[in-house]
Structure 1
Amino acid sequence: MTLSGRDAYRDELTRLAEADRRILCLEADLGGKNHPFQLKHPERFFNLGIAEAAMVDMAAGLASAGFKPFVSTFAPFAALRAAESLKLTLGYLAAGVTVVAPYSGVSGAWFGTTHHCLEDLAVLRAFPGVVIAAPHGEAETRAVIAAAVASGRPHYVRTGRNAAYESLPWGDPVAWEAAGGELCLVSVGEEGTRLCLEARHRRPGLAHAHLPYVDHEHLAAAAVELERLHARFVVVEEHRAQGGVAEALALLMPTARVAGVNAGTGWPSEGGDHAEVMAALGLDLRAVLAAVDG
């Protein structure tokens, strides 16, 4: 059975911790009773409760002592509530802490509007030196977590809620599904990639590139590869236009035409079904196809 991104993270970290006793898992009351890391490595699992900033600060201290702490909480509480702690820990100190943030975008729609997070990439991309990943599918999530363990660099990893997807063939900085032609779809994250795959099903000739990493360093490398093959791009991301990947790529590729399909500037007024909330923000298949034809 294919695992969701957040479950793939937990399973992969539990597996990697078998061989590396420096790996620690910190959670902000998300783990439940059957968290695989807690069951397998109880002495290295810490539930800090709803104290997100304190959890990140604690991880900074653990990293300075030689451990490899992974911390996890809802994306809005990781990227926004604990933003100052992230700035100091991941940015200023460049501590080897990995923050895994599920329920990104509006994937936590059932919990209401307080749990929406459409600004996290803008916040984290403003902190130099942080590796930012938005993996799609189980295999890609596992690869990102394994790379974070091996590198020791500060990471922010964005996932959804329960949706489970098969990953595209791994590629860094670009995972190509298909290339060729003037126009290329560029997808970010789980739902952006889902929409691009649906668009290619409707228009089989479209090129599609998926970006596993979206920090400046990786985007600069991806831009060189993208611009070598295409001149026009439609970037699909479950994020606001401001501070998003389309905006970043437009600056990195000034001679290319870059359009974005995203959550726009509106504020979701209701929770509910994930796809319905995305559509209410103008982020659906119809919007992607309209941008392709535009």
Structure 2
Amino acid sequence: MEADDPMTLSGRDAYRAELTALAEADERIVCLEADLGGKNHPFQTAHPDRFFNLGIAEGAMVDMAAGLAAGGHRPFVSTFAPFAALRAAESLKLTLGYLGAGVTVVAPYAGVSGAWFGTTHHCLEDLAVLRSVPGVTIAAPYGEADMRAVVRAAAESGRPHYIRTGRNAAYESLPWSGGELPLVNWANEAAADEVCLVSVGEEGTRLALEATGQRPGLGHAHLTYLDHHHLTLAAAELGDRHRRFVVVEEHRREGGVAEALALLMPRCEVFGVNAGHAWPAEGGDHGEVMAALGFDLQAVLAAADRLTPAEV
């Protein structure tokens, strides 16, 4: 559910706060932004000599980060998801994939969280693009604690990362214990013969939580890491518990997590609730644009009904 605590940070603000704190102890960390930082970026305030605003030159920003990584730095770069995953796609392929450079790309405004900014600022294709590049760790955190944990893990590992988040929505992370995020966070336990919702990202998780609030008998498993390696491991755990799944993701059907899990779990039924094939032609807030694409609570409940056998 949406956080009641006004101090809970949105995903992109949690990223900035955590990176700024990590940089206090790790001088290798540098922060690059493509004209997205604003006047009060906390990293720029705390570490002005390690903050670079490249303007609207996203590909050049990623290329520069590759050079910094080769020089021993831990660069984090951030820009709108459509400009990171699509406009700078070639640079991402070469930097994160071919070179395997230790660059972390943090992409806010994923999905249609840009809403009234319009189609140029929507990104429903980024998971398909990044999942096709070998060696990239892909994450879509839900809530402040998840984002902070993912940023810490990326900084410690020095491996290529793509981190997807929304615009300004702030959510409390699902409970988890231990130092690392769980591979599968079981938000709602259910009987093995029940349908299990698999939530991806902020809005997919919000909708799954609303759905289980209305129908507590549904299972709900949340995934933060979405690259092939992590999904392969998650699929084994999911398949041990359930046989019927509804994957809820703010993304196109093609190249999304539902397709990936269907291939990884051929003995299971996997149905996707997603943004489909339409192009939003009218403005509105985030929820209104998602609803226009058929990505809403009713779609999730209808999918669960579709996979639930009729009583004889």
Q: TM-score, normalised to structure 1's length?
A: 0.99
Is the aligned partner of 1:117 residue 2:96?
Answer: no
Q: Map 1:142-181 onto structure 2 (within 5 A).
A: 142-170=148-176, 171-181=181-191
Aligned length: 294
Residue in structure 1 matching 2:240, options 228, 244, 261: 228
Residue in structure 2 matching 1:272, options 258, 276, 284: 284
Equivalents in 1 of 2:293, 2:188: separation in Å? 28
Is the aligned partner of 1:215 residue 2:227?
Answer: yes
Q: Map 1:1-294 onto structure 2 (within 5 A).
A: 1-170=7-176, 171-181=181-191, 182=193, 183-294=195-306
* Between 165-174 and 224-233, the greater mean CA deviation after superposition: 165-174
Deviation at 1:92, TM superposition (A): 0.3
Given that 1:6 and 1:160 are in contact with CA atoms closer than 8 Å, whether structure 2 keeps it comes out as yes
What are the ranges of 5 or more consecutive residues in structure 1 without an aligned counterpart? none
Deviation at 1:172, TM superposition (A): 2.7
Q: Any runs of at least 4 consecutive aligned residues in structure 1 with deviations exceeding 3 A, and if so which?
A: none
Equivalents in 2 of 1:153, 1:89: separation in Å? 11
Deviation at 1:169, TM superposition (A): 2.2
The code of the aligned residue for 1:292 comes to A
3-state SS of paired residue (2:24): coil
Equivalents in 2 of 1:71, 1:186: separation in Å? 29
Deviation at 1:216, TM superposition (A): 0.2
3-state SS of paired residue (1:18): helix
The code of the aligned residue for 1:66 comes to G
3-state SS of paired residue (1:2): coil
Deviation at 1:180, TM superposition (A): 2.6
RMSD over aligned Cα, in angstroms?
0.7
Deviation at 1:68, TM superposition (A): 0.2
Equivalents in 2 of 1:243, 1:270: separation in Å? 25
Superposed CA deviations along residues 64-85 of structure 1, whole A, max 9, x for unmatched, are 0000000000000000000000
The code of the aligned residue for 2:247 comes to V
The code of the aligned residue for 2:56 comes to I
Superposed CA deviations along residues 70-116 of structure 1, whole A, max 9, x for unmatched, are 00000000000000000000000000000000000000112111101
3-state SS of paired residue (1:199): helix
* Between 176-185 and 43-52, the greater mean CA deviation after superposition: 176-185
The code of the aligned residue for 2:132 comes to A
Equivalents in 2 of 1:226, 1:288: separation in Å? 19
Given that 1:241 and 1:264 are in contact with CA atoms closer than 8 Å, whether structure 2 keeps it comes out as yes
Q: TM-score, normalised to structure 2's length?
A: 0.93
Given that 1:113 and 1:271 are in contact with CA atoms closer than 8 Å, whether structure 2 keeps it comes out as no
Equivalents in 1 of 2:159, 2:185: separation in Å? 22
Given that 2:116 and 2:284 are in contact with CA atoms closer than 8 Å, whether structure 1 keeps it comes out as yes
